[in-house]
């Protein structure tokens, strides 16, 4: 069998496949949000009445930036105030999110729905996790 056509095609196939890989990675944060957070915080990060605080336009995200990796890792169950409204409910922790995934997830949340935080690096997220109380 003559393999020549396959050899010449292979690089082209690779080039076609690559953009797919990159965009998957770029959208990982969005996908994780849809899978693990949207059921509570809403498709648009809008929250749910007095039960679930919003992420869209949340002053909590800005004021507690350095604590968010620990919040995602260990969850939270105390009174918090978001945009002037008090919430007291259970935010479940998640010990399966890798540092890379957590970074992508936070970067997605913090740059969507009107949020405009500077992007996080994995190093920053790792350091913040290391100093969880």
Per CB under 6 A, residues contacting ligand HEC are 36-37, 39-41, 52-55, 58, 60-61, 68, 71-72, 76-78, 80, 82, 87-92, 94, 105, 109
Give least dist CB 116 to ligand HEC, A. 15
Nearest C-alpha neighbor of 37 from the set 113, 109, 114, 124: 109
Give least dist CB 27 to ligand HEC, A. 16
The conformational region for residue 123 under phi > 0 = left, psi -120 to 50 = alpha, else beta, is alpha
Distance between terminal CA atoms of the chain?
A: 64
Give least dist CB 132 to ligand HEC, A. 15
Give least dist CB 32 to ligand HEC, A. 7
User: Which CB sits closer to ligand HEC, 77 or 123?
Assistant: 77
Yes or no: say if 111 and 117 are a contact pair by the CB < 8 Å rule. yes
User: Which CB sits closer to ligand HEC, 28 or 36?
Assistant: 36
Yes or no: say if 43 and 118 are a contact pair by the CB < 8 Å rule. no
């Amino acid at each position: 069998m003559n393999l020549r056509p396959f050899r010449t095609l292979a690089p082209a196939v690779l080039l076609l496949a690559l953009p797919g890989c990159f965009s998957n990675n770029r959208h990982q944060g969005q996908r994780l949000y849809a899978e693990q957070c949207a059921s509570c915080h809403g498709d648009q990060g809008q929250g749910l009445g007095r039960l679930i605080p919003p992420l869209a336009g949340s002053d909590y995200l800005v004021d507690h930036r350095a604590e968010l990796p620990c919040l995602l890792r260990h969850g939270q169950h105390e009174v918090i105030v978001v945009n002037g409204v008090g919430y007291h409910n259970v935010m479940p922790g998640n010990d399966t999110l890798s540092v890379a995934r957590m970074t992508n997830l936070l970067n997605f949340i913090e740059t969507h729905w009107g949020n405009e935080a500077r992007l996080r690096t994995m190093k920053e997220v790792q350091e913040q996790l290391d100093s969880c109380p």
